[in-house]
């Protein structure tokens, strides 16, 4: 087996292990956040959580596989170096996407909180008018 094939196999195993572990951690720890954002709609929090994890798994697995390009004539060291660079790019990309997702969810949370504050203010005004 050539060095490039070994590096391909190691890369794919590491990428799948990383993506699976991240999906589990993000679903578990993100659940608290989603429960807060969708406090009055627990079923919606479940659905959003599942959709986010599914999208994460599909996107990152596809992206990780697209990143992997090793010259078949490369030495083992060159193949390993290329694989490490591609894995680093995968990690940076996942970190950036995670940050973007968190910003989006933070905006959703702010909107939900603003609506709740608005509704509470309306209820207080109605109560005072009585």
- CB-based contact 68:83 (threshold 8 Å): yes
Question: What pTM, to 2 d.p., does this model score?
Answer: 0.68
Give dist(CA 112, CA 106) in Å, integer: 10
- pLDDT above 70 for 51: yes
Determine the average pLDDT of the residues in 14-35. Answer: 87
pLDDT category at 21 given cuts 50, 70, 90 is very high
Q: Tokens in use for 128?
A: 């005072």
* Angle at 96 (CA atoms; ends 93, 97), nearest 5 degrees: 85
Instruction: For the chain, give the percent of residues with pLDDT over 70.
Output: 98
Determine the average pLDDT of the residues in 119-123. Answer: 80
Q: In angstroms, how far apart are the furthest CA atoms of the chain?
A: 83
- pLDDT above 80 for 75: no
Q: Is the model more confident about 92 or about 122?
A: 92
Sketch the domain layout of the chain as residue ranges. 3-129
Give dist(CA 58, CA 30) in Å, integer: 18
| Per-residue pLDDT, 92 | 92
| Per-residue pLDDT, 86 | 87
**Average pLDDT over the chain, rounded to an integer:** 83
Instruction: Please identify which residue in the block is written with the tokens 């999208």.
Output: 55
């Amino acid at each position: 087996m050539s060095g490039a094939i070994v590096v391909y196999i190691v890369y794919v195993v590491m990428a799948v292990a990383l993506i699976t572990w991240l999906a589990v951690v993000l679903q578990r720890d993100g659940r608290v956040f989603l429960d807060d954002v969708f406090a009055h709609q627990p079923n919606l929090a479940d659905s959003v959580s599942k959709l986010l994890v599914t999208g994460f798994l599909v996107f990152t697995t596809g992206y990780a596989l697209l990143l992997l390009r090793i010259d078949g004539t490369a030495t083992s060291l060159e193949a390993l170096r290329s694989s490490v660079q591609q894995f680093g790019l995968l990690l940076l990309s996942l970190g950036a996407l995670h940050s973007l997702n968190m910003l989006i969810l933070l905006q959703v949370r702010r909107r939900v909180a603003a609506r709740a504050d608005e509704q509470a203010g309306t209820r207080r005004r109605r109560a005072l008018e009585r």
